[in-house]
Amino acid sequence: MEDVSPMRFDYHALPSRVLFGAGRRRETPEVARQLGCTRPLIVSTPEQKDLAGAIASLFTGSPAQIFPEAAMHTPWDVTARALSLTQASAVDSLIAVGGGSAIGLAKALALRTGLPQIALPTTYAGSEVTPIIGETQDGEKRTRRTLDVLPEAVIYDVELTLTLPARLSATSGLNAMAHAVEALYSVDANPVTSIMAEQGIAALAAALPEILADPASRDARSRAQYGAWLCGTCLGSVGMALHHKVCHVLGGTFDLPHADTHAIMLAHVVAYQAGAAPHAMRRIARALGADDAWTGLHALAARLQVPQSLAEIGMPHEGIGRAAELVLQETYANPRTPDYESITLMLERAWHGAAPQPDSP
């Protein structure tokens, strides 16, 4: 084990059930029944309302309710409306159908009601297998880690991902990859999650270009879903670091699209960490088949035709200083201690869409 010397680590497996395979969404009522539940509230975004309705139709014994108003970054006003419906109804469980927005809302409801959750992911975000919730209120996004928000069951049905546009598949996949990248240099890194992280990065790096070329490929999408599960499981098992802090600040403060922000920032933050986490850099590069971790990630993002700059997705240039200040507040454990000057420089590069560049920590 090249990255663990001396051999001393903690590993905590998370208590959740995973069902993986095409068509397994049809098992949702049985999975709910095994949890002692028959009357779910199904949450989705407005765009996924029809899919939520299809899942609701599987519950033939008793009616399932639908709340199709989930929104990016889990804003409190949406949660409050869903909470009112939950408290006024006789629902006994929560089912999230969709990506991070729907899953985040279900987590927010579970946190406040104690209801069990089932997640049916339609993207590669990975939050369905983490005990982490991020919520936005008054323009600030805050995260916390608690097993109270971990879904009891996750159903990975590749058929639910077939309509995910190729561009969103790419940004969602890079978002998932960021979880594994950070797991490799996390303060909680251990041999188990490091193996999963490297395999997850490799699976996504191979599958995402194939999805871009052929969005209907079930094989490629299944491998991407597998990689996303591995990457999300890594995030659920170890602590977050600078990349997630930066993306939470940018998304929550400037309302930037979540997956796009991760896709743009990933190579830049990896370059920022390069000198302080050489073992992680080697494993990332090996998973990508690249000479360097940051150049490999940058090349992959370009190949996937995702946005290349923060300016492109609506980040105001005058907000860079404010973002750097917020990144330095309540910082996450990180291999390199961040400072205002270096964070500002990194954000400037990302805003302009310049190539990522390591500097001395």
Where do the structural domains in the chain lie, given as residue ranges? Answer: 17-161, 166-352
What is the arrangement of strands in the sheet containing 93-98, beginning at the earlier edge strand?
17-20, 153-156, 117-121, 93-98, 40-43, 65-67
**Chain-wide mean pLDDT for the chain?**
94
pLDDT bucket at 5, cuts 50 / 70 / 90: very low
Encode pLDDT of 150-199 as tens digits: 999 999 999 999 999 999 999 999 999 999 999 999 999 999 999 999 99
> In the CATH scheme, what is the code of domain 17-161?
3.40.50.1970
The per-residue pLDDT for 106 is 98
What CATH architecture applies to the domain 166-352? Up-down Bundle (1.20)
Cα distances from 59 to residues 65, 82, 313, 359, in angstroms, run: 10, 20, 40, 56
Question: pTM of the prediction?
Answer: 0.90
The answer to whether 17-161 and 166-352 have equal CATH topology is no
pLDDT bucket at 360, cuts 50 / 70 / 90: low
